[in-house]
Structures are given as structure tokens and as C-alpha cells.
């Protein structure tokens, strides 16, 4: 039992190092996806979703996940409005809906008594 207590600070520091490395990787992935992929690309949408979930669950950020999803949804909406005759894959539409659903659940969680 005592060895667990002694190892905890080391484990905590190790976990923080991995969280920081993961955060950097997510920022890089989102930046690259934003630069290289269209706003309705399912991979770009999935990266935004994954980064938002990481920010919420690991970083415990109260606002970043919300803003990441909101930005992805707004970018996708602006793109579809600018390209009304373009057909989008069902996968893209499902990803956008997944982002909207998660954003709505977070809104409800924050506004519920």
C-alpha cells in the first residue's frame, strides 16, 4: 500500500506529461485538418469532435470543448450555404449531426437546474 502512495506523485507527473503531449498532438491535427480538408470533410469533423471530448474529459476545460464543436458546426454550415448545389456524403451529415447532438447535450447540462 505504501508503495502506491509513494508512486502517486510520479504517476501524476507522468499522466500530466502525456496529457500535454496529447494536447499538442490534437492542436496540430486540428490545425492540419483545417488547413487541408474542407469543413464538411468527415475526417475534419471527427478530429474536431475528438479534440472537444479530450478537452472536456482530460483537460477538464469548461469552455474549450463547446467552442471547438461550435466552430466546426459553424464552418460546416457556412460551407454548405456557400455551396448549395454540392452533395455531401451521408457520413459528413452524420458527423455534423453528432457534433450538434453533443453541443446540445452540453447546453442542456449547463442550463439545467
pLDDT of residue 8: 46
pTM: 0.82
- pLDDT for position 17: 78
Q: Which domains does the chain have, with CATH numbers?
A: 2-111 (1.20.190.20)
> What is the predicted pLDDT for the residue at 2?
43
Per-10-residue mean pLDDT, the chain, length 113: 48 67 94 96 96 94 92 96 92 96 86 59
C-alpha closest to that of 20 among 65, 69, 55, 72 = 55
What is the pLDDT at residue 108?
A: 80
pLDDT of res. 73: 97
104 grid coordinates: 446540445
Amino acid at each position: 500500500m505504501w508503495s502506491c502512495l509513494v508512486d502517486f506523485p510520479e504517476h501524476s507527473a507522468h499522466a500530466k506529461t502525456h496529457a500535454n503531449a496529447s494536447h499538442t498532438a490534437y492542436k496540430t491535427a486540428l490545425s492540419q485538418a483545417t488547413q487541408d480538408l474542407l469543413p464538411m470533410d468527415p475526417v475534419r469533423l471527427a478530429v474536431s469532435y475528438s479534440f472537444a471530448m479530450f478537452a472536456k474529459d482530460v483537460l477538464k476545460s469548461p469552455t474549450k470543448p463547446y467552442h471547438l464543436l461550435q466552430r466546426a458546426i459553424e464552418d460546416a454550415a457556412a460551407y454548405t450555404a456557400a455551396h448549395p448545389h454540392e452533395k455531401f456524403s451521408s457520413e459528413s451529415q452524420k458527423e455534423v449531426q453528432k457534433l450538434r447532438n453533443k453541443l446540445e447535450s452540453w447546453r442542456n447540462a449547463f442550463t439545467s437546474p
